[in-house]
Amino acid sequence: MTYNFDEIIERRYTNAMNVEGYKGYLFGDADVSDIEDNDELIRMWVADMDFATPEVVLDAIRDRLDKKILGYTNIFGSEYYEAFVSWTKRRFGYTFPQEQLVFSHGIVAGIIELVSYICDEDDKALILTPSYGPFKMACDKNNVSAVYSPLINNNGYYEIDYKDVRKKVETENIKLCIFANPHNPTGRVWSEDELKQLGEIMQDNDVWVISDEIHCDIKRADQTHIPFAKAVPDYDKIITTMSQSKAFNIAGLMFSNIIIPNRRLLKTWKLRHFGTENPLSIAATQAAYEKGEDWLEAMNHYLDDNFKYLAEFLENELPHAKFKIPEATYLAWVDLSYYINQKEIDESIAKYFIKHAGVIIEGEEQFVHNAEGHVRINIAIPREVMKKGLNKIKEALV
């Protein structure tokens, strides 16, 4: 089928975080009185897409609405599990028993809850940096200290510093590692060997792992995702979190899968977790697993072309930028250190681009540590909008 990823969709007046929530998300309580409200801002920041949610998903929501009652809902029987595990088996060669599957209202909410079950106050958690900001937030909300292990940046290709990881795990009394697979923000797809090496360190030291695999279906054509739990199958302290919220643009439905093989932790979750599920979320996600693969492949192909355009643009127009097309995600991790230093920017990078380019992108401030001079640009947008945004970024830098 043919899908129109060039469609420009009006998202104003829908209470979209992408449009209306950027000030609070990016700047918190900081003074932003110098940022004027502007409906013309080009939004290339928060990790949802400006592509329409696919019709197979919308049709499933419409069909569920036609049932006329949206009462308290949970997942009963095996139909949803069978759709999900069929997807993971076909795409990743990964299966798990149904009894290990539980649900949360979004992966971040699930991680926060898991940290509270795994760690006591004043325990420590390891985060590989640069890092998706909510990993540290999950630690902060549970009074858990975050310890950073910087990834090694080899000209834009990031690798794990196993020596540093082992040293910190063995000397810092690490209880938990919160890990992104694929990595956010760098876009690395970790190989089976990389996961095995990391898993060996964790297993040797009895460290829990939460593997955030939300971006696993958004990858370049030549890449294969390996679930952490598949790479290290004999270690039951690896928790896997997956969702179709990114891949099918349904993040607002707040529904995620959590796979917990450890019986003791699973029992704790079932005793302490409270909540029913949104009936529309279940219908939408199951439809994505059952009917969405054709749309997903087309969307990934469109992203491949967007990334190729971005790489050529930077090479020709901002030649001092450092960028490598990521192996996964729709997020470009770009080193703009040369231009930032030339401009002597003395405010947050995100604020600078809003004020001087009219573009919302995320700067180093959002990525915890080991992110100096970098920005994260969301290119899951129509190509013409992306081109306009990139030109505005260039004009603000040169």
What would the mean pLDDT of 244-253 be, rounded to a whole number?
98
CB under 8 Å to 113, separation ≥6 — which residues?
104, 269, 273
Residue 263 lies in a domain: yes
**Residue 60 maps to a domain:** no
Q: Which residue among 263, 290, 317 closes a domain?
A: 290
Give the end of a domain, one of 270, 290, 310.
Answer: 290
Q: Are 242 and 298 within one domain?
A: no
Is 204 exposed, middle or buried, given 0-12, 13-18 or 19+ CB atoms closer than 10 A? exposed
The two three-digit tokens of residue 130, written as one number:
């640069």
Strand-pairing partners, residue 159, are 152
| Helical H segments across the chain, by residue range | 17-20, 22-27, 55-65, 79-92, 107-118, 133-141, 162-171, 192-204, 228-231, 263-272, 279-291, 293-317, 337-343, 349-357, 383-397
93 lies in the same domain as 239: yes
Residues 212, 179 contacting (CB under 8 angstroms): yes
- Give the model's pLDDT for residue 367: 98
Which of the listed residues 248, 265, 290 is the one where a domain comes to its end? 290
What confidence category does residue 200 fall into, taking pLDDT thresholds of 50, 70 and 90?
A: very high
316 shares a domain with 275:
no
Range of the domain at 307: 17-55+292-397
Q: Do 112 and 261 sit in the same domain of this protein?
A: yes
Position 37 scores a pLDDT of: 86
CA-nearest of 149, 169, 171 to 160 is 149
Q: Cα-atom radius of gyration of the chain, to the nearest Å?
A: 21
Total domain count, the chain:
2
Q: Is residue 62 part of a domain?
A: no
Regarding whether 265 and 305 lie in a shared domain, the answer is: no
Specify the range with the lowest mean pLDDT, choosing from 31-35, 66-70, 159-163, 329-333.
31-35
Tell whether pTM > 0.75.
yes
Query: Is residue 78 in some structural domain?
Result: yes
Q: Residues 111-120: pLDDT tens digits?
A: 999 999 999 9
**Are 307 and 193 found together in one domain?**
no
- Write the pLDDT tens digit of every residue in 266-303: 999 999 999 899 999 999 999 999 999 999 999 999 99
147 bridge partner residues: 126
Element (H, E) at 216: none
The full length of the chain comes to: 398
pLDDT one-digit tens code per residue, 152-190: 999 999 999 999 999 999 999 999 999 999 999 999 999
Contact in structure between 357 and 396 (CB atoms under 8 Å): yes
Domain identity same for 387 and 308: yes
Q: Are residues 50 and 81 in the same domain?
A: no
CATH for 148: 3.40.640.10
Q: What pLDDT does residue 1 have?
A: 80
| CATH value at residue 315 | 3.90.1150.10
Question: Do residues 230 and 306 share a domain?
Answer: no
Identify the residue whose tokens are 């290339």: 44
**Shared-domain flag, residues 298 and 286:** no
Q: What is the DSSP letter of 277?
A: B
In this structure, are 270 and 393 located in the same domain? Answer: no
The answer to whether residue 12 sits within a structural domain is: no
Distance of CA 372 to the CA centre of its chain: 20
Report the Cα 295 to chain-centroid distance in Å.
20
Contact 101, 92 (CB under 8 A): no
**So what's the pLDDT on residue 122?**
83
49 has pLDDT over 90: yes
Q: Is residue 1 part of a domain?
A: no
Spatial distance between the Cα atoms of 18 and 36, rounded to a whole number of angstroms: 16
C-alpha 58, offset from chain centre: 22
Q: Report if residue 5 sits inside a domain.
A: no
Q: Has residue 164 been placed in a domain?
A: yes
Q: Are residues 49 and 153 in the same domain?
A: no
Which stretches within 142-231 are classed as H helix? 162-171, 192-204, 228-231
Residue 281 is predicted with a pLDDT of: 98
Query: Considering the chain, what percentage of its residues have pLDDT values greater than 90?
Result: 97
| Contact in structure between 345 and 354 (CB atoms under 8 Å) | no
